[in-house]
Structure 1
């Protein structure tokens, strides 16, 4: 019960971006900044069990665990695989080959799954005031248990000459009815989560609607100076916008913000490991380029390009640092990468060391030997 209380108490923490669209590039005014609520993240609020959410009992918690959702934080990181418009179409307005979302009622008897080749198929007649059609699900046999006569369904799929192929579906509750999805009305930009046999997409969405109010408690992985310089939103705001964006611009900005942090932290980890390796195994310190390198540069039938000279300078900086050099040189075919490699080899030879040039094919090795 203590965990439930913690969740309820933290719902007052609202994202700073609630005053304006998430993707807005407009700078905050002094008045807006002074009026913005102060918040102190509590990461422990995200480590509580998914059962802290209202309506999540042992059975649903077990189903969530099987789907990889143990805590509130796990739920927040289960981002929708896509978002769709909730603009409904009358069934009769769809043309053959057209994709759309329709609100229909099950008209036929409760179906039974059947096998055809390697497919498990569930089919049932559905309709609205504008028409009727046979709706078909592939490889989702558990759907049949939900298709009681009179059940209201929100279906997204494609109409063909053989019927309506269902890509996504929700069981919609009638007024005052519990146990199905929410009302059809609401946000016009709806997240679509990956479903399991025990967890319908709308169930995960309902949980996410509660969990995103705790997103401001997420630990910020980016330095404040970097966020300010690149005008990046707080990670909690980005998580909320990734689940429930108000527009496609919000969704794109949220994904970019989260991807930037992921790549930044990955690069920071690699840099830390590289620094540790260098500190544990120092390399020799080379002097400045000598006569052999100078004579070789003079012998070239062309002047090195600005990019090649920049690569020479970076190699020189590494060789005098006393730390092992590990570099990857990238360039288009014919851009002069081999010249840069030979420069590094000559620097090693001048310092009394050996160097080897390896080629991926025998033909290329012969070409290097001849030139």
Structure 2
């Protein structure tokens, strides 16, 4: 409805598998509607900024306006300039999940486990709060201008944060894929390798080694493809990821300043700050899960070791163990910083320092 995802997902007629396809007519609708609404939002925001007399509010409002317009431009850029790459990445995710589902013992598994389900539930709560937090204002005494302002503000805010939601789903999918393949290697593949160990002193047959080698190659191929898809998604989304983090942090700063001006009495603003903070935490948790699941592979290699007198099998096993040590998924936008839970602590410390300074200044000048 908001025109953020402009491609369609349908089942393939041949095998029923999900495939993402372009909807060219809808892209032009997204372009025209987003440009029109962004123009209205810019004019309303400029009129609002002109009536402000607080310099801190003026600066923060300008930053929010610029960040919102940049996020809208980034969405248009993703749809029109990188639209085909987005489709390739989405279809690569579908293909990867089909490959993982084809592994023995993985047919009945869903998207992820309890961790993924918990994160998705919290994300759904945040989405509902984001969509309906301004709903009570529609039942007050509204004029036409205020009604249009609320609709435009909801559209711009939700569209800006949709970049963060897309990053959350993408990195959560990478973590879910790693976790499922790790579970298969830990349970099914390890059991198959242990079955090669003959207790009566005889070596495993060539047929058994060939079957185990096929599974090793299959797991290596899946790990390699997860790494490629994860890197492709990260390179495609690293600029929007930086922008949405900046937008979220600045929005929290702006709303926190409004809370101070209202003498900490507005519960709605407190709820908005909590929701913005939870959105950032969920994103970092999804990224942390993908990174930690990729590092688990190195510990799995110590559990799967069978040595025989056949050189070809030993070379295959050695290649499998050595290749696993190269798989580590890390999220570093442009190589500037690594997104982790420490990033939240750094931001919170800076936010508390800034708000403490503003609070002291406001108390001295009797503004707060």
Report the TM-score when normalising by structure 2: 0.25
Q: Which has the higher contact order (CA 8 A, sep 6+)?
A: 2
Structure whose residues are more often strand by fraction: 1
- The structure with the larger Rg is 1
TM-score, normalization: structure 1?
0.24
